Amino acid sequence: METVWFCLVAFMIVVYVLLDGFDLGAGAIHLLAAKTEEERRQILASIGPVWDGNEVWLVAAGGTLYFAFPALYASGFSGFYLPLMIILWLLILRGSSIEFRNHIKSAIWDPFWDFLFCASSLLLAIFFGAALGNVVRGVPLDPSGYFFEPLWTNFRLGEETGILDWYSTLVGVLTLLALVMHGGLWVQMKTSGPVSSRAGKLAAQSWWGVLALTATVTALTFRVQPQVPANFSASPWGWLFPLLAVAGLAGVLIEWRKRNEARAFLASCAYLTGMLASVVFGLYPLVLPARNPLYSLTVNNAKAGRYGLKIALVWWVLGMILVSGYFTLVYRSFAGKVALDKDSHDDRD
Amino acid sequence: MGQALDVHRLHFAFTVTFHYIFPQLTMGLALLLVYLKTQALVTGDEHYNRAARFWGRIFGINFALGVVTGIPMEFQFGTNWAAFSRAAGGVIGQTLAMEGVFSFFLESSFLGLFLFGEKRLGRLGHWCSAFLVFLGSWLSGYFIVATDAWMQHPSGYRLGSGGEVALSSFWGLLLNKWALWQYAHTMLGAVQTGCFVMAGVGAFYLLTERHENYGRTFVRTGVLVGIIAAPLQLFPTGDMQGKMIAYHQGPTLAAMEGLFQSQQGAPLAILGQPDVEKRRLDNPLEVPNMLSFLTYREWRADVKGLAEFPQTDWPDQIPLLYYSYHLMVGLGTMFIAVMAVAVIWLWRGKLYGSRWMLWIVMICIPLPFIANTAGWMTAELGRQPWLIYGLMRTAEGVSPRVAAGNAWFTLIGFMGLYAVLAILWLFLIYREIERGPEPGGNGYGDVAAAAD
């Protein structure tokens, strides 16, 4: 049962990264890809109706993690206290900038929110990546099952690690580049004109960085976290996941060159899925490795009671059927490239 | 530890108090939007659609702030209250996750369609989108109240070997009788916020002689729904809430009422200042025997005072709890009076012309926000010193490794950020009110509108 929930939480996190990933990426390239007021409105329109729903995956995944693995939620959230609070502030600033930007047209109002939207998206990508890096590397859990990490210590992988060390920073940069690629491909697909081609170019440029860092970070991960090589040699079928990531990454470039915008974006989804699935596969059964392996949290010592996990499966499946219905409806009504049409603004009749 | 505990409590109290400004208006307006859309559907009058669009814009701004200030609430269970989460996450995590899965997805999906898809959806489709937004926001309220109700009056659980609390009955958690009454009481409070805001804006238009046609609709809608909600807030929901506290949280009732000594035929204190050191109420203005009657329906019934309970089980902020409760009840009573006079004036056809009554309605706008906040403070201060009533004390639930200094750092951060958000909220909503509901204002496109 705990393995089922481990997979379901992982599934929700992957969906979150795929969906909110493209709108974070769109935010990160906002100032670079869009120069004029109209272009900026195009980028915002390409995520406007969906970004809020995408972010709900974070809340829902968080809630699911909470009841399925309460000990992990408690240790992880209190240990990552500072970066999580910073993530919250960034989410607040980002949400406000998307919602408030278009309320007033003024030479100081919208440039301010544009900057805030871009900066908060960029920092969020880095912090989410660094958080993932911390989970993979392991944290200084104490015998009572808690830890507290400062933002940084000496940037080394010793006993007393900080949130940012060379490894987690590298994962943060990789995440930023990967989401720039992902978001760039999304914006290219959803917009038209100069902003679309600029976004596509940014995606292709970041592709090389993604390639280089993927190779580096993967090699380092096998050394930083011993569970990963152990899992891959114990069950070689797990190599399917890294393979998916490689195929996805190759697909991005091939389809981009063929100017097949939708397929390039899907390939990027495959890359992100493959990468995250590799991490999940590599860590199982650990959910939060400790620097001292004795204190690691696993699916077994972090799980909730059996009854709760069983009953939750019923409502969770029901809920997901409903959610896939809503998302189909929303994304279908939002299909195709966005058009900036003054008449479409129906709130003024 | 003592110091860190206080900062963590303040942290949660500050962020949740600020957050609840927004959802109470969201949930109240959601109902009124369905009402306006239904009017539009039934009468076919475009006037009601314009009215709904106007309130939809205000709803959108308010909703966005509710979302961004809401995410920190879920996180804080883990970040600041880790020991509590580790013990009880298997239970309350269920309702919190259900809120995400069943309400937030619904709300976020259909709000976009409601705000920007009116032309495409058609009349009935647009009504449906309003209804689904209403359903999502009211479901969300239920899951949160059920979570809080479990902390007030735990049910459907069993204690594990390691001190953790495991779920043992799903329906016991979800249909906790405390949750049902608390939900009814909370939602009526939200409806009253919606009613007073809508009627107050209508009164503002009538008093300033602008958009008077809409002003009349807003005043009428707010008053007609408000006269139903305001009395129900007091009876039966408030009354039942009080009874449940009397039966399950003895020291809380005594502290709320400022009753230090047990009494047969206990009086109801209308005014007075509790002096906890001397254990008495200063300058009391009391109605004799009333508390006994309200609690037990018997004039001479024995009501237990704080002295009956060990001091370690007393709520730790007795004066604040006492004032929150009295403020809530006082304002709630006043709302009934205001709504009753307004509805009589409306019935006699002189409300729209009565400037002093319109003034009163307008000035009332901030009061339901205060009453709702005071109500939540009564519930949560009253729960002290317990985090889960009878099971876990607040001091045991705090994150063991998060120092006071780190909690202060983030609390100050939230205070700064929320000060800015509060100004933006007032500014943007006032701007919408200034623009008014008439079509053809200085419309400037919205993000998602452009996507249609």
pLDDT in tens, A294-308: 999 999 888 888 899
Residue B281 parent element (H or E): strand B280-287
Task: Give me the residues of chain B with pLDDT under 70, please.
Answer: 1-2, 440-452
For A283-287, what is the mean pLDDT?
A: 91
Under 8 Å CB pairs connecting chains A and B tally to 284
pLDDT of residue B206: 96
The band of A334, judged by pLDDT with boundaries at 50, 70 and 90, is: confident
For A88-113, what is the mean pLDDT?
A: 92
Q: What residues have CB less than 8 Å from A215, skipping those under 6 apart?
A: none
Gap between the Cα atoms of A56 and B427, Å rounded: 27
B440·A349 Cβ contact <8 A = yes
Whether A304 contacts chain B with CB within 8 A: yes
For B265, the token pair is 């035929």
For residue B419, give the nearest of B69, B59, B77 by alpha carbon.
B69
Cβ atoms within 10 Å of B17's Cβ, excluding its own: 14
Phi-psi region of B289 (alpha: psi -120 to 50; beta: other; left: phi over 0): left
Domain ranges of chain A: 2-339
Q: What residues have CB less than 8 Å from B360, skipping those under 6 apart?
A: B338
CB A4 within 8 A of CB A303: no
The band of A341, judged by pLDDT with boundaries at 50, 70 and 90, is: low
A74·B85 Cβ contact <8 A = yes
pLDDT of residue B4: 94
For A289, the token pair is 């490795």
For A150-160, what is the mean pLDDT?
A: 81
pLDDT of residue A287: 92
pLDDT of residue B163: 77
Work out the minimum CA distance from B372 to partner chain A, whole angstroms: 24
Gap between the Cα atoms of B106 and A11, Å rounded: 20
B chain contacts of residue A49, beta-carbon cutoff 8 Å: 112, 116, 448, 451
pLDDT of residue A152: 86
Question: What angle (nearest 5°) sits at the alpha carbon of residue A90, between those of residues A88 and A96?
Answer: 105
CB A336 within 8 A of CB B108: no
A53·B64 Cβ contact <8 A = no
Domain ranges of chain B: 2-262+304-451
Residue B286 parent element (H or E): strand B280-287
The band of A43, judged by pLDDT with boundaries at 50, 70 and 90, is: very high
Least confident of A182-196, A267-281, B433-447: B433-447
pLDDT of residue A105: 84
pLDDT of residue A104: 86
A320·B101 Cβ contact <8 A = yes
pLDDT of residue B442: 39
